[in-house]
Chains A and B, each alone.
Chain A
Amino acid sequence: MRKLITLGLFIIAAIAGHFLTLYLVPSVIMNATQTRLADQGLALNQWAAAPRMTPQAQTIVRPSPDLFYAICRFDLQEGAMLISAPGWDRYGSLSIFDDRTNNVFIANLDGENAGILLYHPTRPSKEEGRSYIRQDEDVLAFSGEGLALIRRVAPDVEQHSASVELIDDSVCSPVNWAP
């Protein structure tokens, strides 16, 4: 009887450990990424432009030398977040990843601005939040930490510099409206 219980406990623990690990892997990876970005000095709720990718400046594997990247790490603990970026006359995108690495939002930046209000599902209501933003911006229920990413085709120094300047017109910050 004791052997059966031991075997049963072992099997149940193995199954639990197996699926718990699979469930936790994305969160652990995203958490490690957030920590690494914070350690590199990336402030919360603020866009930061990556330097132009060259052989001498590369910090990640398989960087795309044709693209401009900007990243914002954000946390909805202060309430709703407005994330937006101005359009670009070539290929571009604004994307958002949640704390389990899911790509929960993506919008084109080719010739048009894009933005979204990220909204904690429990405070206040989604409908109330919608009234604070323009009709052409979208709303998404979101909680916890995330990463926003801007990509733009910018294959030369001039276009990369122009993309960097657009960061001043991009938003990644908590929305403070009247209580």
Chain B
Amino acid sequence: MKSILLWFIFSILGLAIGAISALFMAGLLFVGPKLGGTLIIDDWASDWSIGSETANPYVRARVARHGLLALRKEEAVYFTKATDQSGEPLREACTYRVEGSSLPATWWSITLYDAQSRLPMNTDSRLSFDKTQAEFAFGGDAAWLFDVRASAIADDSLPWVSSRAAGEFDLMLRLYRPTADFLDDPVSVLDPPQIIRLACDGEEK
């Protein structure tokens, strides 16, 4: 009787440890190892396993949690960048210029999120810049630019995205229906936007 009780306890203990180790390995408990690919191009980072057809059960579990309802990579790819060209964190106190050229997708957008991954709580209605705006402002999306700043300026001829109430933030680039050559060789094909710091509060421009 004592042996049966011991075996029962150790079986339950084994199940629990097995479950905890699975959640840890899948990156769902504590930090855990992040199995699966992170693609970084000029500090624009993408979780390349989201939207992938993968048999890896650890990646599948993590993607189910962090990429729920995410589209396949053939449909959409996401990149995030939280630093400027000099490696400094993006913050509300600074003004930035974002410059880019044609991106390998049917449509694309760049959206600003605060440190809690939320749209900044302002009423400027300047949350993102996209291919449609690039075509409208520059007659195409071969070369485009916009500013990121916390308030409007008198000369409003240049498109801008508001960082008001964002604190430290990042920019997310979404590529909808990316091209096949980009998916085959993203590092060679993607010419990612540059984020250039123009000035910060208390600094000369």
Chain A residues packing against B (C-beta within 8 Å): 2, 5-7, 9-23, 25-26, 29-30, 33, 53-56, 58, 61-66, 90-91, 93, 95, 97, 100-101, 103, 106, 108, 110, 147, 149, 151, 153, 155
What is the minimal beta-carbon distance from B134 to any residue of chain A, in angstroms? 12
Closest to A1 in B: B3
B109 within 8 A of A: yes
B22 touches A5 (CB 8 A): no
**With A9-B14, A13-B15, A55-B120 given, is the CB distance from A64 to B111 under 8 Å?**
yes
* Option from B3, B65, B121, B128 in Cβ contact (under 8 Å) with A25: B65
Digit string of B66-110 for contact with A (CB within 8 Å is 1, else 0)?
Answer: 001111101100000000000000000000000000000011010
Contact B117 A61 (CB under 8 A): yes
Contact across chains for B17 and A17 when beta carbons are under 8 A apart: yes
Q: B residues near A, CB below 8 A?
A: 3, 6-7, 10-19, 21-23, 26, 28, 51, 57-58, 60-61, 63-65, 68-72, 74-75, 106-107, 109, 111, 113, 116-123, 127-128, 130, 132, 172, 174, 176-177
B122 CB, nearest partner CB in chain A, Å = 6
CA distance A111 to B127 in the complex (A): 27
Q: How far is the CB of A160 from chain B (nearest CB, A)?
A: 13
CB distance from A48 to the nearest CB of B (A): 14
Once the chains are docked, how many angstroms separate the CA of A155 from the CA of B133?
10
User: Which residues on the B side are within 8 Å of A155 (C-beta)?
Assistant: 128, 130, 132
Q: Considering only CB atoms, which chain B residue lies closest to A66 in the complex?
A: B109
Q: Once the chains are docked, how many angstroms separate the CA of A58 from the CA of B122?
A: 12
A22–B120 CB distance below 8 A: no
Choice from B6, B68, B116, B128 contacting A66 with Cβ under 8 Å: B128
